[in-house]
């Protein structure tokens, strides 16, 4: 199952590769999908790769190969790329494709899902201890994939270079494992929950911040338990 943004990006990649044979840059993808940062594109690319829709080609800058498209979609018939390489007719393309039948591969943007707002991601407290089922947040279904999810309020600035600011609400997919390089909620020594990038090196687990003011923590695998991975972010502007 793909979110709308993942499907839009897959559509864009498929069309651009067909027309030019060259993968678009992250800046072009960001502009086409009207996202504010390249970190959002990185997450979409990672999601498509994990689901087996694309493959990043090694030793070639930003090179991407489209492996498959959703079975009940015919993206090649949908108008998409203008001369300026923007998705000017994206809504029309969605409507054309959606009229082909039941859309089981893409979650509608308009549908809202109520998720438990677990609390703040703060040292010294496991996620299980934070959860309060009386607090919830409405989240667009387009941010979610398969499985169970929960929301957390970010406290601190250790991930600001990844576009995650103090006070942001992060959407976490529950899981007990994650791919190298994913941003995860990690429980350290069964007592400290933290939001960091997970990396495995030399038999150890590294919890890497996205702020030069903080140091990467290198821990033995038995000390770290993955409690979920980042799949979305909501920011309020006051």
List the catalytic residue out of 23, 39, 142, 158.
158
**Residue ranges of the alpha helices (H) in the chain?**
4-20, 26-33, 38-50, 90-98, 127-130
Q: Quick check: is 196 catalytic?
A: yes
Tokens at residue 97, please? 């494709």
R_g over Cα of the chain: 19
The contacts of residue 147 (CB under 8 Å, 6+ apart) are 173, 174, 175
Give the separation between CA 131 and CA 127, rounded to whole angstroms: 6
List the catalytic residue out of 4, 15, 196, 225.
196
Nearest to 144 by CA among 214, 217, 234: 234
- The region that residue 187 occupies, defined by phi over 0 for left and psi between -120 and 50 for alpha, beta otherwise, is beta
Percentages helix, strand, coil for the chain (3-state, rounded to 5) are 25, 30, 45
Give the separation between CA 168 and CA 68, rounded to whole angstroms: 34
Tokens at residue 218, please? 């290198």
Tell me the catalytic residues.
158, 196
């Amino acid at each position: 199952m793909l979110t709308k943004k993942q499907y839009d990006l897959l559509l864009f990649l498929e069309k651009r590769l067909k027309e030019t044979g060259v993968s678009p840059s992250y800046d072009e993808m960001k502009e086409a999908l009207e996202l504010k940062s390249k970190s959002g594109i990185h997450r979409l690319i990672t999601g498509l790769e994990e689901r087996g829709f694309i493959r990043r080609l090694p030793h070639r800058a930003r090179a991407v190969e489209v492996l498959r498209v959703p079975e009940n979609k015919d993206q090649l018939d949908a108008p998409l790329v203008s001369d300026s390489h923007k998705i000017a007719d994206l809504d029309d393309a969605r409507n054309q494709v959606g009229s082909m039948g039941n859309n089981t591969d893409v979650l509608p943007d308009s549908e809202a899902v109520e998720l438990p707002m677990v609390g703040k991601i703060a040292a010294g407290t496991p996620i299980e201890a934070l959860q309060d089922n009386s607090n919830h947040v409405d989240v667009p279904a387009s941010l979610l994939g398969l499985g169970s999810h929960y929301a957390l309020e970010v406290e601190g600035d250790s991930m600001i270079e990844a576009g995650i600011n103090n006070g942001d609400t992060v959407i976490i997919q529950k899981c007990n494992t994650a791919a190298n390089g994913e941003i995860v909620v990690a429980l350290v020594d069964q007592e400290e929950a933290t939001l960091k990038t997970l990396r495995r090196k030399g038999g150890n687990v590294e919890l890497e911040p996205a702020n030069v003011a903080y140091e990467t923590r290198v821990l033995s695998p038995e000390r770290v338990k993955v409690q979920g991975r980042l799949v979305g972010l909501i920011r309020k502007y006051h």
